[in-house]
Every structure is written in structure tokens, then in C-alpha cells.
Amino acid sequence: MEAVKIVASNRKARHEYFLLDTFEAGIALKGSEIKSIRAGQMSLAEAFIEITGKEAWLVDAHIAPYEQAARMNHEPRRPRRLLLHKSEILRLWDQVRQKGLTIVPVQVYLKQGRAKIEIALAKGKKLYDKRADLAKKDAEREIQRSYRSRDY
């Protein structure tokens, strides 16, 4: 069994979008960036994926500067190249261009010592979809509460 340590997750992604298809990609990082990620100093709050030419980029992900790197440190919000196969990048680009979907980062994790990112093809939710999801979640919570109150 593989040990996977989740470093950062985009909790809003599941609330704001219907996640249709997920991909695992590597991230091209500098030395101080991977050290900072291993310390859990990363945020995907405003991050998004951009495809330019035949490359995919992670834009606006914040990786905190690594204190011990001093002057050899990295820019916290620099664009980082995603390591995907050309066929995967072309498939993502076609879906975004033709169907009006978007690509969102879902979570970053460490797998066998390497930083990986899970990205998803997503379709934006309407306000009524979000309300329906919240209502369903509240109903399930109430059911669980009623079960717990009966278990004396």
C-alpha cells in the first residue's frame, strides 16, 4: 500500500464545480519549493490551471518561502509547469475549448517522495445546484443525529 500525504486541498472546488474527470500530474518545482511543500506550507485557495501551447501551468498557487533557503528562495506565486503526457494536455484543451469546461486543482499530495497534484475537468454549478447540495448535506446530518440520539 502506498503512503500518500495530502499537503493541500481545494475545498471550494467540490462546492463550486461538478468534477467530471480527474488527472494526476507531477509539478516542476525548485528545491526550496519541495522543502516547503513537505513542511505543509502550500495553499490552493486561488489557484487555477492554464493551458498554453502544449504545456499546462499551475497559476497562483501559494508555496510559502522556505526559511532555511535564505537568498536562494523562490517566488511564492510563480507559475509552475505541470508534468502531463501530451495526449492528456490535448484532451484537456479540447474539453475546455469545445465544451466550455474548466480545469481546477483539487489537491496536492506527496506520493513516494514526489509532489503530485490532482486536477479535474469541471463544470460550474449554478446557485440552485449549490443550494440542493447543501440541503442534501443538512438532511444527511439530521438523519445521523437522529440515529445517535437513539443509541443510548
Backbone φ and ψ for 39, nearest 5 degrees, come out as -85, 0
37-73 residue pLDDT tens: 999 899 998 999 999 989 999 999 999 888 777 777 8
Query: Residue 1 — very low, low, confident or very high, per pLDDT cuts 50/70/90?
Result: low
Burial state string for 116-131 with b = 16 or more CB within 10 A and e = fewer than 16: bbbbbbbeebeeeeee
Q: What is the pLDDT of residues 101-143, one digit of tens each?
A: 999 999 999 999 899 999 999 998 888 888 998 899 899 999 8
CA dist., res. 56 & res. 51, Å (int): 4
Please report the domains of the chain, with CATH numbers, ordered by start residue.
4-125 (2.40.280.10)
Q: What is the pLDDT of residue 151?
A: 62
Q: In angstroms, rounded to a whole number, what is the distance separating the alpha carbons of residues 142 and 98?
A: 41
